[in-house]
């Protein structure tokens, strides 16, 4: 059910954190992996080695600034030359916290560009080929903040809510396209809660500082605020879920956002 041999997967923002974990799990399932980050990312070689060791028959790094639509189109063309994109995981994202009146205009622009507009461009580029080949899986890494809000995250919450809505629209547009025998085309979101990645490191450090420099106490304070399970999500858990959403067993799951949030959105 989770054999992805012969499939090519592009995972954006995949040299560290959640993206690398997803790429690694897809590699274990047999997919060829197109890794992505900013040009010159120092982690690219190590990431390629990790996914190859995990089982990817081939792995290649592609550098592109996804805040730039032109760079996105060049990225998608380059990856298509590497292998037709059967699986697209949009994971690249940025974060910045401040109240609305303190939020720099340029931060709004960059967060919307990277966390929302970039995904419009990658999906638009990938979907025609998916439809032609009869199979496609798009997994957009949203956030619990695509479902609920938190203070001091105006652009991030706006982008993630927009991503959830956009994914629903595209899921509906492609629900009956592709080849039913091959599994058709699905578009879904994963909504992580607190997951220990570089993206939230600043928030962990701030909480640790308030706890007198105790990192574990800082993490506990963050979890106590929102996540009832009191456990950080493992990036490998998100990778396993992404693999499932790409599998034949998930051929009729489309247009949904699955929270992985320890009960956050159940409250």
- Helix or strand run (H / E) with residue 33: strand 32-37
- 156 as an active site residue: the answer is yes
For residue 159, what pLDDT is reported? Answer: 98
Catalytic pick among 135, 156, 174, 264: 156
**Domains along the chain?**
8-193+233-266 (3.40.50.720), 196-231 (no CATH)
In 3D space, the residue among 141, 167, 152 whose CA is nearest the CA of residue 206 turns out to be 152
Please provide residue 149's backbone torsions phi and psi, each rounded to the nearest 5 degrees.
-110, 160
Distance CA 241, CA 59 (A): 21
Residue 8 DSSP SS3: strand
In 3D space, the residue among 91, 113, 111 whose CA is nearest the CA of residue 103 turns out to be 111
Cβ atoms of 207 and 174 within 8 Å: the answer is no
Cβ atoms of 183 and 4 within 8 Å: the answer is no
In angstroms, what CA-CA distances link 80 with 136, 157, 262?
Answer: 14, 31, 37
pLDDT band at 1 (very low <50, low <70, confident <90, very high): low
Mean pLDDT of the region 41-60:
98
Q: Tens of pLDDT along 161-211?
A: 999 999 999 999 999 999 999 999 999 999 999 998 876 788 788 989 999
Distance CA 160, CA 140 (A): 10
The shares of helix, strand and coil residues in the chain, as percent rounded to the nearest 5, are: 50, 15, 30
pLDDT band at 267 (very low <50, low <70, confident <90, very high): very high
For residue 201, what pLDDT is reported? Answer: 83
- Helix or strand run (H / E) with residue 49: helix 44-54
Mean pLDDT value across the chain = 96
Cβ of 198: how many Cβ atoms within 10 Å? 10
What angle do helix axes 69-82 and 118-133 make, rounded to 10 degrees?
30
- Return the higher-pLDDT residue of 53 and 230: 53
What is the reported pTM? 0.95
Q: How far is CA 227 from the centre of its chain?
A: 20
Distance CA 251, CA 245 (A): 8
Which residues touch 34 (CB under 8 Å, ≥6 apart)? 8, 9, 10, 11, 59, 60, 62, 79, 82, 83, 85
Alpha helices in 113-257 (DSSP H): 118-133, 154-173, 201-210, 215-226, 235-246
Output the six-digit token pair for 179: 């080849």
Query: Strand 87-90 relative to strand 59-63: parallel, antiparallel, unpaired?
Result: unpaired
Distance CA 122, CA 10 (A): 10
Cβ atoms of 66 and 94 within 8 Å: the answer is no
Q: Tens of pLDDT along 67-122?
A: 999 999 999 999 999 999 999 999 999 999 999 999 999 999 999 999 999 999 99
pLDDT band at 229 (very low <50, low <70, confident <90, very high): very high
């Amino acid at each position: 059910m989770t054999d992805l041999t012969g499939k090519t997967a592009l995972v954006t923002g995949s040299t560290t954190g959640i993206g690398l974990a997803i790429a690694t799990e897809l590699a274990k399932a047999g997919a060829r992996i197109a890794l992505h980050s900013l040009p010159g990312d120092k982690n690219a070689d190590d990431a390629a080695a990790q996914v190859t060791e995990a089982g990817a028959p081939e792995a290649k790094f592609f550098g592109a600034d996804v805040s730039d639509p032109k760079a996105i189109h060049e990225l998608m063309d380059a990856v298509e030359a590497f292998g037709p994109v059967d699986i697209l995981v949009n994971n690249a994202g940025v974060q910045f916290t401040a109240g609305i009146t303190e939020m720099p205009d340029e931060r709004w622009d960059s967060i919307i560009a990277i966390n929302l507009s970039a995904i419009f461009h990658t999906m638009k580029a990938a979907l025609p080929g998916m439809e032609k080949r009869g199979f496609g899986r798009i997994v957009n890494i949203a956030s619990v903040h695509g479902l609920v809000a938190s203070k001091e995250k105006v652009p991030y919450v706006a982008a993630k809510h927009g991503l959830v809505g956009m994914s629903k629209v595209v899921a509906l547009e492609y629900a009956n396209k592709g080849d039913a025998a091959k599994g058709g085309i699905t578009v879904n979101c994963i909504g992580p809660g607190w997951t220990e990645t570089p993206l939230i490191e600043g928030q962990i450090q701030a909480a640790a500082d308030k706890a007198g420099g105790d990192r574990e106490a800082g993490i506990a304070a963050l979890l106590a605020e929102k996540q009832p399970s009191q456990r950080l999500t493992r990036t490998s858990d998100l990778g396993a879920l992404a693999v499932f959403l790409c599998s034949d067993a998930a051929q009729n799951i489309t247009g949904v956002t699955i929270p992985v949030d320890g009960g956050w959105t159940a409250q």
